[in-house]
Structure 1
Amino acid sequence: MVGCKPKPSYQNFITPKEIIDLGALVTEDLPEQVWGRLLNQYGFEESNSFNVINQEFEFPDGVLSVTNSYLTIFNHGGPHVDVPSHLNLGWGIDSYEIDDFIGPLTVIDVSHLPFGRTVSLSEIMKHDIQPGDIVIIYTKYSLPDVDEMPQRIALSQKAAKYLANLPIKAFGTDSFNVESDDNPTNVERDDKLTELISETAVQRIVPIHYEFLSKGIPIFEQLFNVDKLLTKKKMYFVGPPLNIKDGDGMIVRPVVFVYE
């Protein structure tokens, strides 16, 4: 028949064996769940809030009842992505292409290591990580009580620098963030890279963030269910955030397509 299009064929699509959700249920107290005592210590007094509005509209055929919501979301409280503008190092979320948050995935189990910046370069080198890969470490992060400090396992600066220079496409962790308050690494000053005082401060205070974000590499933090990926192979990560103008970060619901 003229004008009719053939039905699309999906035979060439590769269906994953499993899809694993790395997101979390977004609740009003999600930031408190993942930050613990640090939320108040750092002065974040405003948490999530959900203002649900019920409305009724009259039409000739009857009354239509609808629900709409205004949501206030702390964009770093729960599974989220950081971009350079988070630390005033460059562009925001809206400067990225959607493909920048998608790619082949390597997961590294570092949960056996002590707390601190203890994931060494030699630990990373045990894995076949290629340029353009997305790398996530599994630290077995435990959600702290509201009066507890997060305990974290993080990359050493040498390991972070190696991954950033490959470069990988994105880095992620199930931990509270990619830094650690324990066993900090001394960061050597590089005047060629850190001419601005503000950038020097970022490099010294949060060196792991600096290694990735200064090169435009997104960081995913507070990921859930990473333990479910440890026995999987041939994985593909999909984690685009909402495209917020000048956004410094955003809650995400990333998923992993498992093929083996």
Structure 2
Amino acid sequence: MPDLITSLRELLTQCEAVDLSPVLENDIPRWPTHPPLVIQPTVNWKHDGYYCQTVFMGEHTGAHVDAPAHQVSSMMESTIEVYPPDYLCAPAVTYPMHRLNAKPGQRITADQILRLEEEMGDAAGEGEIVLMDFHWFQYWTTSGDWKFYAKNEPGLAEDAVRLFAERRVRAVGSDTIACDTPVIAGEEMESYGHHVHWLPNHILIMEELQNLDKLPVRCYFIATPLKIKNGSGSPIRPFAFVPRN
């Protein structure tokens, strides 16, 4: 066992950890019907002799994961705390979806993804994690028009969602606010990942990731949700190990 731990440590020193989560702070974008994040410095040195903040937030705040119970009424037993702590720790493949130049409300098809995989020279397989880089995090802001990020995004056609489901991937994540769901001017369209092919098959969905543009095609992805009783999902602190140059 010591040799195994030593080998693991040596391997990790050859990698860089890329942070894939935004900073949690007041006024970050949120799904329009979700509660806002509120961080209040309620305990301070002058008044209390130490420093501590109070945090109020929904389970789907910032970088987060959706459990099946969030969107599938027949799976209320499949809440976030029933999944093992390493469920979101696996090899990942990053898809440069931005190359397809999809606009808010548009759907990317399976054929487009297959052609993209030919360009990438790789594809996500069973037990792996799909990371979709739409370059959408450029619209993330805590001031100005933060609602654009929350109310607009491209998504996936049903055959594209089914493509990943049939490969039995572990999870799918994106830098958008609702992963596969097309949204334009606040109008939400049908989400085949949330309702039909992913969550119903225990393929978890991660949203609001950042820095996906800093990842190579392949990396090792790590994220752990909070162990929330009956959780519909949870904030996560995702990161990826990538080989150092």
Given the two structures, how large is their TM-score scaled by the length of structure 1?
0.74
Change (3 A) 1:76 1:97: same
Rounded to whole Å, the distance in 1 between the matches of 2:178 and 2:8 is 39
Greater share of helix residues, 1 or 2? 2
Q: Which structure 2 residues correspond to residues 20-169 of structure 1 after superposition, within 5 A?
A: 20-30=18-28, 34-35=29-30, 39=32, 42=33, 44=34, 46-54=36-44, 65-87=49-71, 88-90=73-75, 91-112=78-99, 113-115=101-103, 116-125=105-114, 126=117, 127-141=122-136, 142-143=139-140, 145-146=145-146, 148=148, 150-169=151-170
Partner in structure 2 of residue 252 of structure 1:
236
Rounded to whole Å, the distance in 2 between the matches of 1:47 and 1:153 is 25
Change (3 A) 1:147 1:19: closer
Partner in structure 2 of residue 195 of structure 1:
none
* Letter of the structure 2 residue corresponding to residue 10 of structure 1: T
Rounded to whole Å, the distance in 2 between the matches of 1:163 and 1:11 is 33
Q: CA deviation at 1:120?
A: 1.5
Partner in structure 2 of residue 207 of structure 1:
192
Q: Is the 2:37–2:55 contact (alpha carbons within 8 Å) kept by the matching residues of 1?
A: no
Rounded to whole Å, the distance in 1 between the matches of 2:238 and 2:155 is 21
Task: Spell out, residue by residue over 1:221-247, the C-alpha distance to the aligned partner (whole angstroms, 9 max, x if none).
Answer: 010111111xx2541000111111111
Equivalent position SS for 2:214: helix
Change (3 A) 1:172 1:109: same
Rounded to whole Å, the distance in 1 between the matches of 2:147 and 2:206 is 25
- Gapped regions of structure 2 (runs ≥ 5): none
Q: CA deviation at 1:165?
A: 2.1
Equivalent position SS for 1:163: helix
Q: Is the 1:121–1:156 contact (alpha carbons within 8 Å) kept by the matching residues of 2?
A: yes
- Gapped regions of structure 1 (runs ≥ 5): 1-5, 57-63, 183-203
Q: Is the 1:54–1:66 contact (alpha carbons within 8 Å) kept by the matching residues of 2?
A: yes
Q: CA deviation at 1:136?
A: 0.8
* Letter of the structure 1 residue corresponding to residue 124 of structure 2: I
Equivalent position SS for 1:164: helix
Rounded to whole Å, the distance in 1 between the matches of 2:124 and 2:55 is 39
Rounded to whole Å, the distance in 2 between the matches of 1:159 and 1:97 is 27
The answer to whether structure 1 residue 223 and structure 2 residue 221 are counterparts is: no
Paired residues in the alignment total 218
Rounded to whole Å, the distance in 1 between the matches of 2:217 and 2:174 is 18
Rounded to whole Å, the distance in 2 between the matches of 1:93 and 1:257 is 24
Change (3 A) 1:216 1:70: same
Rounded to whole Å, the distance in 1 between the matches of 2:236 and 2:51 is 23
The answer to whether structure 1 residue 238 and structure 2 residue 216 are counterparts is: no
Given the two structures, how large is their TM-score scaled by the length of structure 2?
0.78
RMSD: 2.8
Q: Is the 2:65–2:225 contact (alpha carbons within 8 Å) kept by the matching residues of 1?
A: yes
Equivalent position SS for 2:43: strand
Equivalent position SS for 2:55: strand
Q: Is the 1:89–1:213 contact (alpha carbons within 8 Å) kept by the matching residues of 2?
A: no
Q: Is the 2:93–2:128 contact (alpha carbons within 8 Å) kept by the matching residues of 1?
A: yes
Q: Which of the pair has more CA radius of gyration?
A: 1
Q: Is the 1:93–1:246 contact (alpha carbons within 8 Å) kept by the matching residues of 2?
A: yes
Change (3 A) 1:54 1:147: closer
The answer to whether structure 1 residue 10 and structure 2 residue 12 are counterparts is: no
